[in-house]
Amino acid sequence: MILMENFKQKLTRIKTLMFDIDGVLTNGQVLMMENGEVVRNMNSKDGFALQHAAKKGYNIVIISGGRSEAVKAALLRLGASEVFLSQSDKLACYKDYIYTHQIQDDEVLYMGDDLPDYEVMSRAGIACCPADAAPEIKDICIYISGRKGGEGCVRDVVEQVLRSQGNWEISGW
């Protein structure tokens, strides 16, 4: 129980929510269209949570190795402040972002699901992952969502952060 209390306490310091796309905001599956276009599914409850957090003034940042401009546009419409695509070195992207915006590591929650996220997650104040993340990622997480990637894991952690800070009121929606 000490770990959960530590997690709940850490939530109160979070100002920036960072996420990977494939395997976190999506279930990791891609549909290949005949014309070569790649299609992904995202969960509407995850989208609502991101939009709500953005409206409450949280920084929503996406760091992905993927290249989909359509996904980027959708995330920007939901309120993401930054969407970094084609990131082969996610840690360098993370460091640049927190330095530029004068953010401390303990103010960042990062949710990833696989090895490219490992270094960032080792540095962020809160490392969390979906239920179906790689074992190596689960090993370094302070919180593992009960939900899989693309199935509400983002909503889970965003709601917990906002609730811990008194920002998850329902009125006005």
State the Cα–Cα distance between residues 26 and 5, nearest whole angstrom: 29
Q: 46: domain CATH number?
A: 3.40.50.1000
CB contact at 8 A, 123 and 107? no
Long-range contacts from 90-96, C-beta under 8 angstroms, 24+ separation: 90/63, 90/65, 90/116, 90/117, 90/119, 90/120, 91/119, 91/120, 91/123, 93/63, 94/18, 94/63, 94/120, 94/123, 94/124
- pTM listed for this prediction: 0.93
Residue 172 located in a structural domain: no
Residue 169 located in a structural domain: no
Q: Give the mean pLDDT of 92-98.
A: 98
Given a cut of 80, whether residue 93 has pLDDT beyond it is: yes
Residue 171 located in a structural domain: no
Residue 170 located in a structural domain: no
State the Cα–Cα distance between residues 27 and 40, nearest whole angstrom: 8
Q: Give the mean pLDDT of 144-157.
A: 97
The model's pLDDT over 42-88, given as tens digits with 9 standing for 90+, comes to 899 999 999 999 999 999 999 999 988 889 999 999 999 999 999 99
How high is the pLDDT of residue 110? Answer: 98
Domain that holds residue 100: 2-164
State the Cα–Cα distance between residues 50 and 57, nearest whole angstrom: 11
Tokens 């920084």 correspond to 59
Domain count, the chain: 1
CB contact at 8 A, 27 and 150? yes
Residue 173 located in a structural domain: no
Residue 7 located in a structural domain: yes
How high is the pLDDT of residue 6? Answer: 86
pLDDT > 70 fraction of the chain, expressed in percent and rounded:
95
Q: Which of 99, 94, 84, 78 is nearest to 154 (CA)?
A: 78
